[in-house]
């Protein structure tokens, strides 16, 4: 069935269709509609879940950790300062190997106070052990949450599904809400707490065992890349919608590629069409999967990376990631911070003027 829905509503509907059992969340702009919608599903018995009201995002994640530790399917949603407040618990969720899924409506971090789209909030959680996905349409939000549960429960790592605040969270677009059926089988967590076989977690661990636990997380994250491909393949077979770690657009013969994430990277495809008409061999790569980071085909190409984020003193976080994985020169454009509106005409213009290497702040430089 198709209907019009916002990115926020798509997230709530995906949670309902994934048979999530425990939702603990705290409202924050622009995510509030997600938890409001889920609360209404629970209240009207459209969804059989426990909705735990908590006093903060730190507690929201702690409650999800508790629920997930018993083998329950758990969800939370947040944004910006809420996500940052969870930071300690994010490490815990990954360390305890809990398949929690969270939606993060990407929003700038204050001060200066700002409620609009930016990726710095989630990208600064890069090293917490969470898988990270970035959606660019309402449909993709829905689909990625479904696939994230399937994947998280295979590799026992939590997953974060990110979408641009307001630009996607508050935009209505057509959404196919065909239920996933048995695409997401009942959760089977081997280390779930069981009252019939009591045990406790959290004892002091020496470096020897601790080291092994860390390595196991590292290996699971690497394995997630392969597992994600098989989940996407099955999803495509069942529902007809194709996803990959990177969405390539007209890259076949391209000598210039524009790389980005989220809605801005989808709009870049329109810029590519514009540039192609002018005779430029342009293409674009939209990174959907930031952790684990996928392998890209950039060899011999002029690479323009759009970053809706910044690591101060170092530049764009996505650009850094690309430089780490690939030995190619990168022209890094910092664009869209704090909700700056970035039009496809502007992206095309950036590509026309791009130098082989360097950094450019849109609207500032």
Partner 1 sequence: MLEIRIHSRGGQGGVTASKLLAQAAFLEGKYSTAFPLYGAERRGAPITSFTRISDHDIKVSSQVYDPDIVVVLDDSIMDLVDVTVGLREGGLLLVNTDNGEKLEDPRLKKFKVARVNVTDIALSLGLVLSGNPILNTPILGALAKLGVVKLDSAIKAIKDMFEDERNVKAAEAAYEKVIV
For residue 39, the minimal CB distance to partner 1 (Å) is 20
Least CB distance from residue 77 to partner 1, whole Å?
A: 18
With b for 16 or more beta-carbon neighbours within 10 A and e for fewer, the 231-251 pattern comes to bbeebeeebeeebebbbebbb
Residue 250 C-beta: closest distance to partner 1, Å: 13
From 54-62, 67-75, 230-238, 265-273, span contacting partner 1 (CB under 8 A)? 265-273
Kindly state the smallest distance separating residue 116's Cβ from partner 1, in Å: 8
What track of x and - describes contact with partner 1 for positions 173 through 192 (by CB under 8 A)? xx------------------
- What is the C-alpha to C-alpha distance for residues 135 and 163, in angstroms, rounded to an integer? 5
Rounded to an integer, what distance in angstroms lies between the CA atom of residue 33 and that of residue 28? 9
234-263 residues near partner 1, rule: CB under 8 A: 263
Selected from 97, 266, 301, 308, the binder of partner 1 by CB under 8 A is 266
Nearer to partner 1 (CB atom), residue 113 or residue 201: 113
Residue 97 CB, shortest distance to partner 1, in Å, is 36
Structure tokens at 301: 């190409």
What ranges make up the beta strands (E) of the chain?
A: 2-6, 22-25, 50-53, 74-78, 101-106, 131-134, 159-164, 172-176, 246-249, 256-260, 282-287, 289-291, 302-307, 330-334, 358-361
d(CA 272, CA 255): 12
The residue among 133 and 166 lying less far from partner 1, judged by its C-beta, is 166
Of 298, 342, 348, 354, which lies in the binding site for partner 1, with binding defined by CB under 8 A? 342
CB-nearer residue toward partner 1: 194 or 341:
341
CB of 312 to partner 1, least distance (A): 26
Asked if 341 is part of the footprint of partner 1 (rule: CB under 8 A), the reply reads yes
Q: For partner 1, give the closer residue by CB, 19 or 114.
A: 114
Tell me how far, at minimum, the Cβ of 346 lies from partner 1, in Å: 8
Query: Is 166 a residue that touches partner 1 (CB under 8 A)?
Result: yes
Tokens encoding 230: 């098989």
Residue 134, C-beta contacts closer than 8 angstroms, at least 6 positions apart: 119, 162, 163, 261, 262, 287, 288, 289, 290
Our CB check for partner 1 shows the closer of 107 and 301 to be 107
Determine how many CB atoms are found less than 10 A away from the CB of residue 37.
Answer: 22
Q: Is 270 in the site for partner 1 (CB under 8 A)?
A: yes
Pairing of strands 246-249, 358-361: unpaired
**Closer CB to partner 1, 325 or 343, in the complex:** 343
142 in contact with partner 1 (CB under 8 A) = no
Paired residues of 176 in beta bridges: 2
Cβ of residue 217: shortest distance to partner 1, in angstroms? Answer: 35
Interatomic CA distance for residues 1 and 183, integer angstroms: 17
Figure out which of the listed residues 233, 295, 343, 355 binds partner 1, where binding follows CB under 8 A: 343
The phi, psi pair for 161, rounded to 5°, reads -105, 115
Grouping H, G, I as helix, E, B as strand and the rest as coil, residue 164 is: strand
Answer whether 104's CB lies under 8 Å from 323's CB: no
Among 121, 269, 307, 309, binds partner 1 (CB under 8 A): 269
Q: Is residue 167 a contact residue for partner 1 (CB under 8 A)? A: yes
In angstroms, give the least distance from the CB of 354 to partner 1.
Answer: 19
The residues that touch partner 1, with contacts defined as CB under 8 A, are: 4, 30, 115, 164, 166-168, 170-174, 263-264, 266-267, 269-270, 341-344
């Amino acid at each position: 069935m198709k209907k019009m829905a916002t990115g926020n509503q798509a997230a709530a509907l995906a949670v309902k269709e994934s048979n999530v059992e425990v939702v603990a969340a705290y409202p924050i702009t622009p995510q509030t509609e997600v938890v409001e919608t889920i609360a209404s599903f629970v209240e009207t018995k459209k969804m059989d879940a426990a909705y735990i009201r908590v006093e903060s995002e730190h507690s929201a994640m702690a409650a999800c950790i508790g629920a997930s530790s018993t083998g329950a399917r758990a969800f939370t949603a947040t944004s910006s300062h809420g996500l940052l407040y969870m930071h300690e618990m994010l490490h815990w969720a990954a360390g305890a190997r809990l398949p929690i899924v969270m939606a993060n409506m990407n929003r700038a971090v204050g001060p200066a106070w700002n409620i609009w789209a930016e990726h710095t909030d989630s990208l600064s959680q890069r090293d917490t052990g969470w898988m990270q996905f970035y959606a660019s349409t309402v449909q993709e939000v829905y689909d990625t949450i479904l696939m994230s549960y399937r994947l998280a429960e295979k590799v026992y790592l939590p997953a974060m599904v990110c979408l641009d605040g307001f630009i996607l969270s508050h935009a209505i677009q057509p959404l196919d809400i065909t239920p996933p059926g048995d695409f997401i089988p009942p959760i089977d967590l081997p280390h779930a707490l069981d009252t019939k076989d009591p045990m406790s977690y959290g004892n002091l661990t020496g470096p020897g065992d601790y080291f092994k636990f860390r390595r196991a997380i590292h290996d699971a994250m690497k394995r997630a890349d392969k597992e994600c491909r098989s989940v996407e393949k099955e999803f495509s077979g069942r529902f007809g919608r194709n996803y990959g770690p990177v969405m390539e657009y007209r890259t076949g013969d391209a000598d210039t590629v524009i790389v980005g994430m989220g809605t801005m990277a989808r709009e870049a495809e329109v810029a590519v069409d514009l540039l192609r008409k002018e005779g430029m061999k342009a293409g674009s790569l939209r990174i959907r999967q930031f952790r684990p980071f996928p392998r890209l085909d950039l060899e011999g190409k002029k690479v323009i990376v759009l970053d809706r984020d910044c690591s101060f003193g170092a530049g764009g976080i996505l650009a850094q990631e690309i430089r780490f994985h690939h030995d190619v020169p990168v022209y890094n454009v910092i664009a869209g911070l704090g909700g700056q509106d970035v039009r496809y005409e502007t992206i095309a213009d950036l590509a026309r003027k791009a130098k082989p290497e360097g950094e450019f702040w849109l609207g500032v430089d």
